Amino acid sequence: MAEWRVTVDRSRCMGSGICTAMAGTYFLMDGERSRPAAEGVPPGEAVLDAADSCPAGAITVTAADGEVVGPRD
């Protein structure tokens, strides 16, 4: 399956560290804010769960066809 793309809007991130705690494979703290460890990620629940849990709504996960798959409603 094609990779998903994950982004962190660093202007929205409030540095809670939830994403790095939940999915440290995919997110790193860079100073006081998170950033993706890599732009492309294998499709999976962990990155979606992190996007769902971000209190700032800063994480967006996009499928290869451009569809936004996370956060989920």
Q: Which residues form the interface with ligand SF4 (CB under 6 A)?
A: 8, 13-19, 27, 33-34, 54-56, 58-59
Shortest spacing between CB 24 and ligand SF4, in angstroms: 11
Closer by beta carbon to ligand SF4, 65 or else 73:
73
CA 40 to chain centre: 10
Stretch (H or E) spanning 28: strand 27-30
Shortest spacing between CB 2 and ligand SF4, in angstroms: 23
Closer by beta carbon to ligand SF4, 28 or else 63:
28
3-state class (DSSP) for residue 8: strand
Other C-beta atoms within 10 Å of 32: how many?
10
